A = this chain, B = another copy of it.
Amino acid sequence: MITAQGMWTETEQVLAQQALAIARQRETDTILAVVREQAAAVIGLEDLWQISDFLNARRFDLDGKYMFDCETLIFAFARLVKEGWLSPEELAGLDRDKVARIRSLSRM
């Protein structure tokens, strides 16, 4: 039986983890910058509740998003490419079929 993990070579797993880390840092930096900017401009409570809503949504969104799981890696990468946190070029080194599937899924 071929497990999902078996379908990712060790080299690919290392590369995938690096790509996840890059995308995670990129998204984190963006969120941090947005919150710093919004917080510097707050005038009243309504502005704060907007930040609060934004943070709650981001927290929900990030939950599990960057977890390394061979079973769901293709979908995770497709989502990151679609959202702009990772470019398909940054997945060079993965098996070509995987990259093709990720590209294809990212357009859906």
Closest residue of chain B to A53, judged by CB? B55
Q: Does A5 contact B (CB under 8 A)?
A: no
B59 and A49 contacting across the interface, CB-CB below 8 Å: yes
Bound-complex Cα distance A43 to B36 (A): 10
**Number of copies of chain A assembled together:** 2
Tell me if A32 is interfacial: C-beta within 8 Å of chain B: yes
On whether the beta carbons of B51 and A35 are closer than 8 Å, the reply is: yes
Cα–Cα distance between A39 and B36 once the two chains are bound (Å) = 5
A sample of 15 cross-chain residue pairs with beta-carbon separation below 8 angstroms, ordered by A number, consists of: A28-B44, A28-B45, A32-B43, A32-B44, A32-B48, A36-B39, A38-B39, A39-B39, A39-B40, A45-B62, A48-B55, A49-B59, A51-B51, A51-B55, A52-B56
Residues of A at the B interface (CB closer than 8 Å) are 28, 31-32, 35-36, 38-40, 42-45, 48-49, 51-52, 55-56, 58-59, 62
